[in-house]
Amino acid sequence: LILHRFFGDASGFVDMLQHHVPSPIDSAASKVENIYTGLRDSSCMADMTACDPSGALMINVVKLYSAPDGVTFHAFGRIYSGTLKVGDSVKVLGEAYSLDDEEDMAVCEVTGISIGEGRYRLDVERAGAGNWVMIQGVDAPINKTATITSVRGNDDATIFRPLSFNTTAVMKLAVEPLNPAELPKMVEGLRRISKSYPATATKVEESGEHVIFGTGELSLDCIMHDLRRMYSDIEVKTADPVTAFCETVVETSALKCFAETPNKRNKLTMIAEPLEEGLAEDIERGEVSIDWDRKQLGEFFQSKYDWDLLAARSVWAFGPDIDGPNILVDDTLPSEVDKKLLKQVQESVVQGFQWGCREGPLCDEPIRNTKFKILDATIAPEPIHRGGGQIIPTARRVAYSAFLMATPRLMEPVMELQIQAPADVVSSIFPVLARRRGHVVQDTPKPGAPFYTIKAYLPAIDSFGFETDLRAFTQGQAMCFQTFDHWSIVPGDPLDRSIVLHPLEPSPPPQLARDFMVKTRRRKGLSEDVSIQKFFDDPMLMELAKQDAEMSNMM
């Protein structure tokens, strides 16, 4: 009553939303322009732009909320056009759906519609364009996000762009059930975890290990609580948390690497080299797309990164996916290579390149920040001798050999820390960071408050338990917020076999890359060392031996 007398009705927040947030009709055009992947002149695009309740049904599902039973989910989405009714049959288009490949599509029946009102939900029989609704009965085929449209009369509809996040799930946790007989329950629980947490992913390694990728320690704690208590209701064991790594190169391949197909009718020659600084991040942010025409791609690479125009227009693919941080370039000359035959096998070469980028040769981690150039190609004229079964594994193998000849290195994720602490405990923070390979980049007082704001970088693999140490050293007076910031090259050569690793002892910085690679390979059930015989053909090994002999004679 007292506050009411001084400040009036408690309607400020709602009034602010009404005044500053545009209505669905006013904002529809700009929203659809940014998130819809279909043609701009299609009929459903016109309906969504007008927010027409009598037009074609188009709903963008952005989140799945668990039902009280912990088994089903309510799909939360916005109706951009059309009207949805209980009992309607709808098409659910997944993130991998396209007009050319309709595999990721299912038909479901809407069993319930509700509108969220704070902690309550109001059940309704129908909802029109412009509403945010919770939909029941359509969650089974949805993984993260989806597009819902009508079953008939909207055949040219495509999907809304999947959500992108400004952070990356780089922390890994291996899990297994305490009772092996309950493995199916845990697998189903992991599937529900993947649905419930938008930035989380789950994966089964080749060794059979089930791995959860999370964005931080708190995220993994919440995931494990939900997995044990809500989604599987079983006891789950966990290994020590680790981080994801990436593989990269720091030099150009020492020699042109080649590989022949098993039938000896085709031969690919390739080299690898590092990408220009900032290019991988531009690809991931969507500032350049492989879907652009060759002229637009050429202008981007030529103007921003000073590429040769011919090479800039010869970009074949990004890897391991359409916004991956690696590039495949056709650098062959028409006078030396039959371009028509090479074009016939382009799709197979791209598949092999993307397969290789997905699982690198060092420890089966993704490749990053690497450009692969095709320098020469001998392709069989008969289609039967240049099928995908011949070309795809050969393209992957030659990419691996070029990668290994270009001074490969490991990359680790680095977290950005924002620490707030009183001035008298700031000096206690520096040794905590130094013990974990962290360093401070900014240290400034916070205006209007008796606090200092400290910005620091800390390798993710050394960040486990950091907040506990920080509170202990500052008597609980420091607060920390951490998020993924960038990838950094791990010091040391991962292929240096002269390094002797001592169990239960921390490795010095020059040995870290070797230490991380060996431990990652052991965890995945791989041999400790990378075998070059696995990726190099016999003629390639003979060429390497010949070069070694020439170098020895020169010395």
Q: What is the pLDDT of residue 545?
A: 73
Whole-number Å distance between alpha carbons of 107 and 538:
52
Question: Tens digit of pLDDT for each residue in 396-425?
Answer: 999 999 999 999 999 999 999 999 999 889
Question: Tens digit of pLDDT for each residue in 6-26?
Answer: 767 777 777 888 888 888 888
Calculate the alpha carbon distances from 341 to 265, 316, 344, 382 in Å.
13, 15, 5, 10
Q: What is the pLDDT of residue 102?
A: 85
Q: What is the pLDDT of residue 40?
A: 85
Task: Compute the average pLDDT of residues 66-80.
Answer: 91
Whole-number Å distance between alpha carbons of 130 and 31:
12
Question: Tens digit of pLDDT for each residue in 264-295?
Answer: 899 999 999 999 999 999 999 889 989 888 88
Among residues 172, 170, 240, the alpha carbon closest in space to that of 211 is found at 172
Question: Tens digit of pLDDT for each residue in 233-251?
Answer: 899 999 999 999 999 999 9
Q: What is the pLDDT of residue 487?
A: 94
- pLDDT tier at 1, thresholds 50, 70, 90: low
Task: Compute the average pLDDT of residues 511-518.
Answer: 93
Inform me whether the pLDDT recorded for 554 exceeds 70: no
Inform me whether the pLDDT recorded for 100 exceeds 90: no
Task: List domains and CATH numbers for the chain.
Answer: 12-150 (2.40.30.10), 171-244 (3.30.70.870), 253-407 (3.30.230.10), 410-492 (3.30.70.240)
Whole-number Å distance between alpha carbons of 202 and 321:
18
Q: What is the pLDDT of residue 552?
A: 66
- pLDDT tier at 449, thresholds 50, 70, 90: confident
HEC letters along 314-355: CEEEEECCCCCCEEEEECCCCCCCCHHHHHHCHHHHHHHHHH
